[in-house]
Structure 1
Amino acid sequence: MDGQSWKMENPVLGLVVVALTFVLFYIVGYISNRKSSSAKDLYVGGSNVGAITNGLAMAATYMSLATFLGITALILRLQVPFIMLWIQLILAIPLITIIYGTSLRRMGAFSPTHFIRDRYGTTASIIAALFMILVSVMYALGQMIGIAVTFETLLGIPYITGLFVFGLIIVGYITIGGMAGATNNAAIQMVIIALMFILPLGAIMKAVGAEGWYFPPLLYADMVPTMLESLPTFFDYQFPPKWYFSLIPALTIGALGLPHLAMRVYTSSSLKSARSAMVWFAFILGLVFSATYAMGFVGVYATATQGLVISDTDADKLTIILNLVYNPEWVTALVIAGAISAGLSTLSGNLLAIGALISQDVIATLKPNIPQKVNLRIGYIAIFLGGLVSILLAIEPPAFLVVSILWAFGLAGVTNAPLIIVGVWWKEANKYGAIAASAVGGILYIIVSPFVFPNIVLTGHGVTDGMGLSGAMLAVPVSFILLIVVSYITNRMPALSSKLTRQRDDELIERIHGWNDVKSYRYNSTLGAGITVALSLGVAIWALMPWGI
């Protein structure tokens, strides 16, 4: 089969399956959100979601269409040991819960920017919110691209047509459902994603002769000898150590700053429920992420040993192509339903985050006395407009849909994560440091990315630059340094320190950590701050060195 034939011969079958899933999601969304009467109802579902439902919803929100499409394309083309990338990504919700999620939940905040506003003031929160809107739009962009590509394969219709028609249908579903609908739907979608990814993969592995087909996430070892005979370099570490280290600031720290992930922690009915949800999240995510790596492995195996030819332009369709080649069409229809579910669950989180950022963190901050009904209406409008913008940006997509998603991770790690992490654990952090860290760090990250100034990049590796790895490795430590150093200096300048609310900030930090009293020595270590600056400086210098060092 060549690249021209990568579409279903009977698209009606796929349309019926997808239409049924859309009907289900619309019904669940409408029923779940029909009682929403406040911003808290819209954005955190009333904070009464159970552990299993929330754990599944967390995983579905994080899974994204990149699981079905973008990551497998990178494995196919770069043959990178992406299991290391998954290790970084799977740490997200556990680290959010441990480092700051429970603290912000105890505080009563329902978004990271809410914490930034209370901790650092209005200016810092608006700057952070504007960057987070960009992060959420870029993240949603990847989902829109994947959904359009999926429908292109399903129906054989032009990419642009599928993008606008189905993009608007999806945005409407998310706008109607709110967080309550998104959470209940995401739990359902996670079950669909897991079944429609892992079971067809098992059938593909059986078709190519793998003995471990009955548990695809891990049991593909018998295929390895044949793979190494045909492609001896598959498991090699093809990049220098710096590339692998750059995953930490770009993806691990980046994930800590993603607003739509943090919002999931605040939907839990209690702190205990949030911790339990974290366990379910890690389990289901690990299962499907392992299967994703296996799918990429099987794709490379098929091209190296089975004569399958996939062009660069079709790399994003690898999962669907493998099902078209090795499985009946009705299975491919179910896989497409799973892919759409993955995109929907993540888009829900992205667009709800945009709505919260615009209505709560920008408009409500500037106009605190705005009526609740008006603010709620603005939230719905913001959700819809955020989806519309992501559709328009997807008209000319990057080469790999995952690029825009991972680039968004890096920007979140630069502009949001340091303010929250340091703000929760170090009392001396103040608004001057926060503004400098978010504004300067964010601008630096954008400048060194290949999207704005193509000639100003830190490395010569186009794909990884586009993923934000090199930019985050420089900008994330710079952001930490600016936050700590500027805060430390301005706290000791009478003209500036007199404008700070140090006592209130100290009380806030003690309270969100569960203390009833205030002790000056808690969360106030100059040594810890100094070590963080020294380590960050070392990483920033390393980032400026040649890529091979």
Structure 2
Amino acid sequence: MEEQLWQLSNPIVGIAIVVATFILFYVVSWISNRASTSVEDLYATKGGVGPVTNGLAMASTYMSIATFLGVTALILQLQVPFVILWIQFILAIPLITIIYGTSLRRMGAFSPTHFVRDRYGKTASIIAALWMILVCLMYALGQMIGIAVTFETLLGIPYLTGLLIGGFIIVGYVTIGGMSGATNNAAIQMVIIALMFIIPLGAIMKAMGSTGWYFPPLFYADMVPAMLEAMPSFFDYQYNTKWYFALIPAFTLGALGLPHLAMRVYTASSLKSARSAMIWFALALGIVFASTYTMGFAGVYFEQSTGTIIGEADADKITIILNLVYNPEWVTALVIAGAISAGLSTISGNLLAIGALISQDIVTTLKPNLTNKAKLRLGYVSIFAGGVASVLLAIDPPAFLIVSILWAFGLAGSTNAPLIIMGVWWKEANRYGAIAASLGAGIIYVVVSPFVFPNIVVSGHALTDSMGISGGMLAVPLSFLILIVVSYITNRIPALRNEAETKEVHGLIERIHGWSDINPKRYNSTVGAFIITFISAVVVIWAIMPWNL
């Protein structure tokens, strides 16, 4: 079939809708952040966000433009195994809250790296912050790619032009809004995302003959017989057990290290509010995530039943393509506005995290005597610089946008998550173990990435390696292993053990768990550490064995 040009034939309505949404977001940003006078205001809104707003903002921040674009392209390649992968993402923020979010919330921290600094010292926190800046840039990169693709489709302009126009408009909007503007906008964007994704999807399903079109997240099941006829292999679990297990360290544990997700917990007005926000987060995210799979399902069915070949270059546009085929163009324009909203919310979270990492976790650590005014100005500059960097990186992007986002999960899991998890729950974790784990596992994760050294990979399966699945299965447990072993050994070398520092760390751990006294046996289990070490060693060995997918 001849290749088609998938874009709006009359972009006027789409432009008007997108301009209106941008005006709305800029106004909300300015109103929300105009009273910010400190870094606490800029990054944590003084912890004054209610559970509904925060839950919707969490879901919106996590959703990303990949929900509209890159994820559906991934479903075209993976089919039903994608469901198992998708489940890992849904677990992220509830696990952050349960495992360490509420504990760190008691510290009033801006980011997880703030905890790393207080727990392990300056050197460890700067190393962790540098890794997290790379994670946030890679995550934001995927959003910028998606924004450029949507502007390309909306306006019929070249990718680079769309990137520059969309990118710098977004960077300005995030910079002036701070966390307060980003949070309020993200809640609004979550509503836009849900409406602009699910309602048009229902119309697509109805046009395809589905009787369950009125609730796409679940009732697409009536199309299963038609899918089996069009593509009998769609529901085959094409990979072995090892592949599915690898999703846990790469994406579930990886998500625990993402700073822009954890920052949302710190904006809550109370610990109770942070926990309540999880309900709204799970509800909003679950409905849209389930609908995303339905959209991918519909995309595969469209390809198989009509004979239309959607090439690799257009795979990211499957949501837009289905709307162009089955819905009026003004509906597609609304979908594009929803996609841009999804990208905006996630970019906001990432740029704010970059700002906090640069200004609070690096510069302020090295120069603690900066005035509040200087810190605030530095924060705005850092946010803007992070946005510019993500735009520049997106000029020559990966083949499809989801790769950079998923790869970031594994890097966060290798360099950040073990430091926080063990730091919260095991008193023996120390700065030597933290530095060795973050540097060692992080470097190994990068080395086995096909983007850096194409010939040094773990599984040998292109998609698995590029998504960071195989690298995460190797590097994440290795990070836990290094952290525990190095900490245990160095704690028993008198020359390396500082008793005053140890007592201070023990007090910190007790305090963030809500205890008023210090019990040496509490959070100090050698047996628990041994079990984690043993499991990690087994997984590392399994990861380097042949994958045979």
Quick one: distance in 1 between partners of 2:495 and 2:81?
53
SS of residue in 1 equivalent to 2:106: helix
User: Alignment partner of 2:217: what SS?
Assistant: coil
Cα distance in 2 for residues equivalent to 1:177 and 1:46: 14
Partner of 1:117: 117
Alignment of 1:215-364 (within 5 A): 215-364=215-364
The Cα of 1:81 is off from its aligned counterpart by: 2.4
Distance 2:526 2:17 in 1: 59
What is the deviation of 1:4? 3.3
Contact 1:254 1:411 survives alignment (8 Å): yes
Aligned length: 549
- Residue of structure 1 equivalent to 2:375: 375
Structure 1 residues 48-63: aligned runs within 5 Å: 48-63=48-63
Tell me the amino acid that sits aligned with residue 7 of structure 2. Answer: K
The residue identity in structure 1 corresponding to 2:288 is V
Between stretches 431-440 and 101-110, larger displacement belongs to 101-110
Q: Deviations over 1:57-103 (max 9, x none)?
A: 00000000110001100111332421111211011110000000000
- Name the aligned partner's letter for residue 475 of structure 1: A
1:397-436 superposed matches below 5 A: 397-436=397-436
Deviates more, 1:79-88 or 1:402-411: 79-88
* Greater Cα offset, 183-192 or 310-319: 310-319
Residue type at the aligned position of 2:54? N
* 1:482-493 → structure 2 map (5 Å cutoff): 482-493=482-493
| Structure 1, unpaired ranges of 5+ | none
Distance in 1, matches of 2:498 and 2:510, equals 21
1:7 aligns to 2:14 (yes or no): no
Percentage of identical aligned residues: 73
SS at match of 1:218: helix
**Could you list the per-position Cα deviations for residues 27-73 of structure 1 after superposition, in whole angstroms to 9, with x for gaps in the alignment?**
00000000111111001112100000000000000000110001100
Q: How far apart, in 1, do the equivalents of 2:109 and 2:3 lie?
A: 49
Question: What one-letter code is carried by the residue in structure 2 that aligns with 1:524?
Answer: N
| 1:30-45 mapped onto 2 (5 Å cutoff) | 30-45=30-45
What SS does structure 2 have at the residue aligned with 1:55? helix
State the partner residue of 2:474: 474
What is the TM-score normalised by the length of structure 2?
0.99
**The residue matched to 1:233 in structure 2 has which SS?**
coil
Deviations 1:230-266 (A, max 9, x none): 2111011111111111110010001000000000000
Of 459-468 and 272-281, deviating more is 459-468
Counterpart contact for 1:2–1:310, Cα < 8 Å = no
Alpha-carbon separation, structure 2, partners of 1:513 and 1:456: 42
Shift, 1:419, TM fit: 0.3
Query: Residue type matched to 2:379 in 1?
Result: G
Q: Secondary structure, in 3 states, of the residue corresponding to 1:82?
A: helix
Query: Measured at CA, do residues 403 and 360 of structure 1 come closer, stay the same or move farther in structure 2, by a change above 3 Å?
Result: same
Report Cα offsets for 1:302-348 as digits up to 9, x if no partner: 11113333112100000000000000001000000000000000000
Q: Distance in 2 between matches of 1:149 and 1:432?
A: 44
| Paired position in structure 2 for 1:525 | 525
1:385 aligns with 2:385: yes
Distance 1:498 1:172 in 2: 46
- The more displaced of 258-267 and 389-398 is 389-398
Give the equivalent residue in structure 2 for 1:26.
26
Structure 1 residues 306-315 or 110-119, which shifts more?
Answer: 306-315
What is the deviation of 1:3? 3.9
On the 8 A contact 1:216/1:291 being kept in 2, the answer is: yes
Distance 1:351 1:391 in 2: 12
Give the C-alpha shift of residue 108 in structure 1. Answer: 1.9
Residues 184-215 of structure 1: per-residue CA shift (max 9 Å, x gap): 00000000000000000000000010110000
- The one-letter code matched in structure 2 to 1:179 is M
Distance in 2, matches of 1:69 and 1:441, equals 31
CA contact (8 A) 1:29 1:177 kept: yes
Partner SS state of residue 107, structure 1: coil
Matched AA of 1:446: V
Query: 1:430–1:500: 8 Å Cα contact kept in structure 2?
Result: no
Deviation at 1:2, TM superposition (A): 5.2
Residue of structure 1 equivalent to 2:513: 513
Whether the aligned pair in 2 keeps the contact of 1:142 and 1:402 (CA below 8 Å) is yes
Q: How far apart are 1:429 and its partner, in Å?
A: 0.4
Normalising to structure 1: TM-score of the pair? 0.99
Q: Is the CA contact 1:3–1:314 (under 8 Å) kept in the aligned structure 2?
A: no
Partner SS for 2:58? helix
Residue 201 of structure 2 aligns with an amino acid whose one-letter code is: L
Structure 1: how far apart are the matches of 2:150 and 2:2? 17
* CA displacement at 1:292 relative to structure 2: 0.2
Shift of 1:548: 2.0
Aligned to 1:107: 107
Residues 7, 388 of structure 1: alpha-carbon distance in 2 compared, 3 angstrom cutoff: same
Counterpart check, 1:152 vs 2:152: yes
* DSSP 3-state at the match of 1:501: helix
Query: In 2, Cα distance between the equivalents of 1:420 and 1:233?
Result: 42
Query: 1:188–1:120: structure 2 CA closer, same or farther, 3 Å change rule?
Result: same
Q: Which residue does 2:87 correspond to in 1? A: 87
- Measure, in 1, the Cα distance between the counterparts of 2:297 and 2:378: 46
- Please say if residues 74 and 80 of structure 1, whose CA atoms lie closer than 8 Å, have aligned partners that are also in contact: no
Aligned partner of 1:489: which letter? I
